[in-house]
Structure 1
């Protein structure tokens, strides 16, 4: 006569550290996913090392990152127009000395050249903050490809804005301008960016703000259970 089997304890008396035993062969077969990537019982997508549980696949992330980089870079068109419109003008004057034209600054102590670089830098910082906020709101999950795309797009947008502003501004041939306006007449100098480091203002601001928003308001990773352990429902 065999010994009576001890019934399992009620659910409320089980320890939270109880672990489930590995499934039997029948349960393993029932959990085998179909060829389309879904489980037969639940119909949910399977997960493995080639899938990401918390986000899209790497190909999708790279595609989204490429779209983000292009969209951010196109913002450089607006930055270039604003820079050309808001940047202070540097006054030049042409004069004839010894039969040849000479061009010089009308106000040698003026700070218009510094204001041109400062205007670009402040606008680029603002564009970096806006682009980081928009990207975070659109895709809170973040990810390395998205951060790289934000930096690359910001740098490309800065270069585009710089070249567009120069193209929209006065002609670069100052001698031709001096001859066209006449001797002693003030005209605007070409729009140029003296401090090339201002091109990094956009990507720097975008990266700092995006990383800060992701760290403060981004989704949190779920707590990992020990290997072989499962969470007991109701524990």
Structure 2
């Protein structure tokens, strides 16, 4: 990678921070783009407004479909970002010898977690008019529910799948022994000993014989 100002190579730690920031920002940006997709695809159930201001959702499939769409969208995003993050660091590490696997893993995972939260919060915010309509409906009235994510544990789907995909790709690279930026193990070769060169106990002089061979001939 060229220098930040074009005057020389970027030091290793600075290069790692730049790569990490780029991977984090790209993953977060994807979360911003996927939030409207979740808002547009997720179905909304019809609910009955209760006197205390709450709603009765019932047990229709639409009640859980919105959260199901969230899991599917973020899990697929985890596959994409896990693959993209690993291949980006792989290419950069090959271009200039530097192990960027940890940088890619940490930055990508943090970005996936932040992106998952953004999909949730932006998607819910986009359904603000539906939420206002619920508040304006009289008790006993029926209205289409606003988008929400009750099971916040689903927020881990994106970072979990991201780490899984990233780890699988690194395992394949390890089996192929083509991990760029990772130094090969140093092999120490012992120098040949005198015994192995001339044979153990053999007279090094020309025509010399093994001690056990003396006196064996007739």
Report the TM-score when normalising by structure 2: 0.67
Query: Which residue of structure 2 aligns with residue 226 of structure 1?
Result: 188
Q: Give the drift of 1:227.
A: 8.4
Query: Which residue of structure 2 aligns with residue 152 of structure 1?
Result: 110
Separation in structure 2 between the aligned mates of residue 58 and residue 104 of structure 1, nearest angstrom = 54
Separation in structure 2 between the aligned mates of residue 110 and residue 163 of structure 1, nearest angstrom = 24
Query: Which residue of structure 1 aligns with residue 64 of structure 2?
Result: 114
Query: Which residue of structure 2 aligns with residue 84 of structure 1?
Result: 39
Could you tell me which runs of 5 or more consecutive residues in structure 1 were left unpaired when the two chains were aligned: 1-55, 230-235
Q: 1:209 aligns with which of 162, 165, 183?
A: 165
| Structure with the higher helix share, 1 or 2 | 2
Could you tell me which runs of 5 or more consecutive residues in structure 2 were left unpaired when the two chains were aligned: 1-10, 94-99, 192-218
Report the TM-score when normalising by structure 1: 0.62
Separation in structure 2 between the aligned mates of residue 228 and residue 139 of structure 1, nearest angstrom = 37
Query: Which residue of structure 2 aligns with residue 178 of structure 1?
Result: 137
1:195 counterpart = 2:154: no
Query: Which residue of structure 1 aligns with residue 77 of structure 2?
Result: 127
1:139 counterpart = 2:98: no
Please identify runs of 4+ aligned residues in structure 1 that moved more than 6 A.
none
RMSD between aligned residues? 2.8
Cα gap change, 1:165 to 1:224, in 2 (>3 Å): same
Query: Which residue of structure 2 aligns with residue 169 of structure 1?
Result: 127
Cα gap change, 1:121 to 1:223, in 2 (>3 Å): same
Q: Deviations over 1:59-100 (max 9, x none)?
A: 2112210111111011111221111111120212347xxxx6
